[in-house]
């Protein structure tokens, strides 16, 4: 995977088709992105969870294009695709066969029920120990072959959990891996992998068995020339542990720490994380999901009386962070988060990152610059690439909290956004990040003096780059020297807005 900024986008919401995304990258965003994570393009892309509930995970939805379009895109750009390992649509032919035939279906072992995980029954302690992304138990009552069963549904009743330890489950996942590898996809994101292994008597989330599965699947992917990114929202120490076992892990702690730093002027938690974080990371400020809070906060004990493990932010700092986001968005993020708006993930705040920063152009550019200086592969979500605001109209139509950050852009809106100084400045930063050799090394030196954060990449004898940001007002400067002696300096990133 080349060390350049990547775009994250839904094809139907940004370009209209896979080929449309390709043309945008070639033309209107030329030089800004070296790769693209195309969010689920499988059949159908517009199901119960915006493509994360595929009926056929091995086929491209013809409304978006074909595997030929993916191959064409991969010929020019690094392409990432989602591999949804935890579940499949309730409308999939495999599960529909189980609905019709029950235990007699050849696909029955592929899906999890309460009794397949707890064959001897489950105690109250067993059930309350299960880690959940939403309220209630992870089961839905369904008739399978006329028999009422409790089917394991971590997210929604439309998303049926797979038994990845069964022959049928393994075969299914390997077929998907082969399909994307054959299309030239070089990077897969294991979606919801933290929930993929259910072990009785545990939280069923990021257990030792989960790590074993990730390691085995990663090895199989590498044999096909495919790198693996693990997607887990969890306690920050879990991310550090995961990073030791996989190709890449998301740095989900960075977005809330940056928001806290710019809203409070307190850069200590951010500086501490920048010194300690994994370097084999994909850095993001925004994605198709919300802004993770659990990733920076403390971890409460699973049982009453268990000690609280300290986070990168204290509970009081997390509360101040969340309240500040809601205030800066005029309450729109509050209407889209928590137990409101059909949310699946109660530990995230739904808002565009631009709005979460109060539409402060200087702070937004400085936050992106810090993201680009952190070692790893930076990704920019399509709404963030256009400095988009919260889509409260879409939220009102769908009552899906995450839709507030999933706007449908037509060509005219894209052109209008590209005329905005903040968008032009961000794309210039992307091109600089792609061209400066100092970012090829994993080193990072971090200093903090009062509210002034300074980041150094590279050394005195080779390519180097330096970023200085005043967290109190968002002012930032940047200078660099490249391998061929090219030097540059931006006295203030705000000059890019002129």
Collect all residues with Cβ–Cβ distance below 8 Å to 438 and sequence separation of at least 6.
457, 458, 462, 463, 464, 465, 480, 481, 482
For residue 304, name the pLDDT band (cuts at 50, 70, 90): low
Q: What's the number of CA atoms in the CB half-sphere (13 Å) around residue 258?
A: 30
Is the pLDDT at 235 greater than 70, yes or no? yes
User: Would you state the pLDDT for residue 109?
Assistant: 96
Q: What is the pLDDT of residues 162-190, one digit of tens each?
A: 999 999 999 999 999 999 999 999 999 99
Collect all residues with Cβ–Cβ distance below 8 Å to 98 and sequence separation of at least 6.
105, 107, 108, 110, 111, 144, 145
Confirm or deny that 37 is annotated as ligand binding.
no
Confirm or deny that 231 is annotated as ligand binding.
yes
For residue 486, name the pLDDT band (cuts at 50, 70, 90): low
For residue 303, name the pLDDT band (cuts at 50, 70, 90): low
Q: What is the pLDDT of residues 281-292, one digit of tens each?
A: 999 999 999 999
For residue 67, name the pLDDT band (cuts at 50, 70, 90): very high
- What's the length of the chain? 498
Contact 255, 285 (CB under 8 A): yes
Is the pLDDT at 448 greater than 60, yes or no? yes
Contact 49, 155 (CB under 8 A): yes
For residue 343, name the pLDDT band (cuts at 50, 70, 90): very low
Collect all residues with Cβ–Cβ distance below 8 Å to 388 and sequence separation of at least 6.
352, 354, 405, 407, 417
Confirm or deny that 189 is annotated as ligand binding.
yes
Confirm or deny that 348 is annotated as ligand binding.
yes
Confirm or deny that 289 is annotated as ligand binding.
yes
For residue 362, name the pLDDT band (cuts at 50, 70, 90): very high
Looking at residues 72-83, what average pLDDT do you find?
A: 97
For residue 51, name the pLDDT band (cuts at 50, 70, 90): confident
Contact 352, 382 (CB under 8 A): no
Least confident stretch, 203-207, 361-365, 371-375: 203-207
User: Would you state the pLDDT for residue 80?
Assistant: 97
For residue 342, name the pLDDT band (cuts at 50, 70, 90): very low
Confirm or deny that 445 is annotated as ligand binding.
no
Percent of the chain that is helix, strand, coil (3-state, to 5): 40, 20, 40
Structure tokens belonging to residue 182: 């054959």
Looking at residues 326-335, what average pLDDT do you find?
A: 94
Report DSSP state, residue 6.
Answer: E
CA distances from residue 363 to 23, 291, 426 in whole angstroms, order as listed: 30, 17, 12
Which of the residues are catalytic? 191, 231
Q: What is the pLDDT of residues 366-406, one digit of tens each?
A: 999 999 999 999 999 999 999 999 999 999 999 988 999 99
Confirm or deny that 371 is annotated as ligand binding.
no
User: Would you state the pLDDT for residue 461?
Assistant: 72
Structure tokens belonging to residue 322: 């969340």
Structure tokens belonging to residue 341: 């708006």
User: Would you state the pLDDT for residue 169?
Assistant: 95
Is the pLDDT at 344 greater than 60, yes or no? no
User: Would you state the pLDDT for residue 339?
Assistant: 62
Confirm or deny that 402 is annotated as ligand binding.
yes
Q: Which of 286, 285, 445, 280 is nearest to 376 (CA)?
A: 280
- Percent of the chain, pLDDT > 70? 96
Looking at residues 320-339, what average pLDDT do you find?
A: 90
Confirm or deny that 361 is annotated as ligand binding.
no
Residue 466 host element (H or E): strand 464-470
Residue 132 host element (H or E): none
* pTM for the whole structure: 0.93
Place of tokens 């050849």: 106
How far apart, in whole angstroms, are the C-alpha atoms of residue 363 and residue 455? 16
For residue 484, name the pLDDT band (cuts at 50, 70, 90): low
Structure tokens belonging to residue 133: 């992304």
Higher pLDDT, 339 or 117: 117
Is the pLDDT at 255 greater than 60, yes or no? yes
Walk me through the domains of the chain, giving residue ranges and CATH numbers.
6-85+166-440 (3.20.20.80), 93-161 (3.90.400.10), 444-496 (no CATH)
Q: Which of 428, 376, 429 is nearest to 254 (CA)?
A: 376
Least confident stretch, 230-239, 442-451, 472-481: 230-239
Higher pLDDT, 64 or 319: 64
For residue 48, name the pLDDT band (cuts at 50, 70, 90): confident
CA distances from residue 112 to 108, 150, 194 in whole angstroms, order as listed: 8, 9, 16
Is the pLDDT at 346 greater than 70, yes or no? no
- Percent of the chain, pLDDT > 90? 78
Structure tokens belonging to residue 184: 């030239």
Contact 192, 85 (CB under 8 A): yes
Residue 445 host element (H or E): strand 445-449
How far apart, in whole angstroms, are the C-alpha atoms of residue 283 and residue 335? 27
Q: State the maximum Cα–Cα separation within the chain, in Å, rounded to a whole number.
A: 73
How far apart, in whole angstroms, are the C-alpha atoms of residue 110 and residue 291? 33
Per the prediction, the chain carries an average pLDDT of 92
């Amino acid at each position: 995977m080349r060390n350049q900024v990547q775009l994250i986008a839904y094809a139907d919401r940004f370009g209209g088709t896979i080929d449309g995304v390709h043309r945008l990258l070639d033309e209107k965003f030329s030089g800004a992105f070296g790769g693209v994570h195309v969010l689920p393009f499988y059949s159908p892309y517009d199901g119960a969870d915006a493509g994360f509930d595929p009926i056929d995970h091995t086929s491209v939805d013809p409304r978006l294009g074909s595997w030929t379009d993916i191959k064409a895109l991969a010929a020019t750009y690094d392409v990432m695709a989602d591999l949804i390992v935890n579940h499949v649509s309730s409308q999939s032919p495999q599960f529909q066969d189980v609905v019709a035939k029950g235990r007699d279906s050849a696909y029955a072992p592929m899906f999890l029920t309460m009794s397949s995980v707890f064959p001897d029954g489950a105690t109250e302690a067993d059930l309350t120990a299960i880690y959940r992304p939403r309220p209630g138990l992870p089961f839905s009552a369904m008739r399978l072959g006329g028999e009422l069963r409790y089917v394991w549904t971590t997210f929604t009743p439309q998303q049926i959990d797979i038994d990845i330890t069964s022959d049928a489950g393994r075969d299914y996942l390997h077929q998907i891996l082969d399909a994307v590898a054959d299309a030239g996809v070089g990077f897969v994101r294991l979606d919801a992998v933290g929930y993929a292994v259910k072990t009785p008597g545990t939280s069923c989330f990021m257990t030792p068995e989960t790590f074993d599965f990730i390691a085995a699947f990663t090895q199989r992917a590498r044999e096909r020339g495919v790198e693996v990114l693990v997607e887990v929202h969890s306690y920050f120490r879990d991310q550090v542990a995961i990073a030791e076992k996989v190709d890449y892990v998301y740095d989900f702690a960075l977005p809330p720490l940056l928001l806290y730093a710019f809203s409070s002027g307190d850069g200590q938690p951010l500086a501490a994380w920048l010194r300690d974080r994994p370097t084999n990371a994909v850095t993001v400020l925004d994605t198709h999901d919300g802004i993770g809070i659990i990733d920076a906060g403390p971890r409460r004990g699973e049982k009453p009386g268990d000690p609280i493990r300290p986070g990168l932010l204290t509970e009081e700092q997390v509360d101040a962070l969340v309240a500040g986001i809601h205030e800066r968005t005029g309450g729109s993020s509050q209407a889209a988060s928590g137990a409101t708006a059909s949310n699946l993930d109660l530990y995230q705040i739904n808002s565009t990152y631009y709005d979460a920063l109060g539409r402060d152009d200087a702070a937004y550019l400085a936050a992106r610059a810090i993201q680009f200086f952190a070692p790893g592969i930076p990704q920019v979500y399509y709404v963030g690439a256009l400095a988009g605001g919260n889509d409260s109209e879409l939220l009102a139509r769908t009552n899906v909290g995450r839709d507030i950050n999933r706007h449908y852009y037509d060509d005219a809106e894209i052109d209008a956004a590209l005329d905005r100084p903040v968008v032009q400045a961000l794309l210039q930063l992307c091109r600089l990040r792609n061209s400066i050799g100092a970012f090829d090394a994993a080193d990072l030196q971090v200093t903090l003096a009062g509210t002034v954060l300074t980041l150094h990449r590279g050394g005195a004898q080779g390519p180097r780059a330096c970023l200085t940001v005043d967290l109190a007002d968002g002012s930032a400067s940047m200078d660099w020297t490249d391998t061929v002696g090219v030097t540059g300096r931006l006295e203030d990133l705000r000059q890019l807005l002129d």
